[in-house]
Amino acid sequence: MSKVLGIDIGGTSIKVGMFSTEGTLEAVTKIPTGEITSEAAFAVVTEGLKALLAENGATPEEVIAIGLDVPGPVDDDGKVGMLANIELDPEGLQAAIKRTFANANLAFVNDANAAALGELWQGTAKGANSFVLIAIGTGVGGGVVANGKLISGAFGAGGEIGHVTVNRDETDACGCGRKGCLEQYASATGIVRSYKRECKRLGIEPVALDGPTDTLSIFNAYRAGDEAAKAALLTMSDYLGYAMAQISVVVDPQIYLIGGGVGGGFKAYAEDLRAAFRKYCLAPSVATRILPASLGNDAAMYGCAYEALLEREA
């Protein structure tokens, strides 16, 4: 029976899902990796993939498609661009996998784009023709689907929603080198930053935070009535709603999905976000739905498997 593998590549390990061609997740494993730049490292990956199959009664010959998602740009031709946070030789890994899985079509996908495809295949966006996934974690990523097709862009920058400029008066630089990017306000880092500023402005002591991305503590403070937490989430919602309104005049999606780690707190800011979007958007887009994503941390694994399957069938 034909199988599809989705490989979610991280900095210290990869998570692999084995799927049916219909999209049923049949098994999951994690493979410790570190740098994936040598033949020895490639062998760790391929042996881990073979072990997953063997444990579930499948063989390499049954694998017809393998998708890999990476935290960096991937253009329309599947070429991987700069990878800032992991050590990976995409061409070397691809060649090693191809030697082991001769029947499989291989595809590389940006991780946020993969998450969008996952939601399209088996998540909240299943059956939708056009939607935008906004993944909010340490940064802000995105995936844009129009007319049922992922828009990755000529140079792999399609869906880089975190770098929509929302504040031209910002003096601090974003990680990308520009100033006033959405990521500076709507990411976990941005929310913590806004919270600390609000605490200082209001003259109150911030709650204990476990690092610069600890939005869980801020959400808990919000539920307990913390005014600074409320203001920080309102700031996030306002900037995010503004950015979504700008995106809508270009792609006009049916749905916005909010995912990533901060997406887990969606109920806390959902109404403020919807109100901000309605305030800023062009009138025809006011009916756009804003919903939480449903696949969580598995979305990218689903999505890269789906992209590999789509490319095989094209």
3 state DSSP class of 145 = strand
Domains 3-111+298-313 and 124-294 belong to one CATH topology: yes
Residues 6+ apart with CB under 8 A from 225: none
CA 115/CA 24 separation, integer angstroms: 16
Structure confidence at residue 9 as a pLDDT band (50, 70, 90): confident
Spans of all domains in the chain: 3-111+298-313, 124-294
pLDDT at 297: 86
Q: Report the C-alpha dihedral over residues 261, 263, 264, 269, rounded to 10 degrees.
A: 130
Residue 85 clears pLDDT 80, i.e. is over it: no
Structure tokens at 292: 């939480």
* Helix and strand counts by DSSP (H, E) for the chain: 9, 10
pLDDT at 90: 86
Rounded alpha-carbon distances, angstroms, from residue 172 to 37, 46, 198, 218, 292: 35, 44, 17, 23, 30
Q: At what angle do helices 90-100 and 39-55 cross, to 10 degrees?
A: 40
Whether the CA torsion 60, 65, 70, 75 is positive or negative: it is positive
Neighbours of 263 (CB within 10 A): 18
Residue 83 clears pLDDT 70, i.e. is over it: no
pLDDT at 179: 96
Mean pLDDT taken over the chain: 92
CATH code, 124-294: 3.30.420.40
Q: Are 108 and 97 in contact (CB under 8 A)?
A: no
CA 296/CA 306 separation, integer angstroms: 16
Q: Are 305 and 6 in contact (CB under 8 A)?
A: yes
Output the pTM of the full model: 0.87
Distance of CA 126 to the CA centre of its chain: 17
3 state DSSP class of 126 = coil
Q: What percent of the chain stands above pLDDT 90?
A: 77
Distance of CA 14 to the CA centre of its chain: 15
Beta strand pairing call for 140-146 and 289-292 = unpaired
pLDDT at 16: 97
Q: Which phi and psi (to 5°) does residue 285 adopt?
A: -95, 5
Fold of 3-111+298-313: Nucleotidyltransferase; domain 5 (3.30.420)
Q: At what angle do helices 227-251 and 188-202 cross, to 10 degrees?
A: 140
Structure confidence at residue 79 as a pLDDT band (50, 70, 90): confident
Structure confidence at residue 223 as a pLDDT band (50, 70, 90): very high
Q: Are 270 and 290 in contact (CB under 8 A)?
A: yes
Q: At what angle do helices 266-280 and 215-223 cross, to 10 degrees?
A: 90
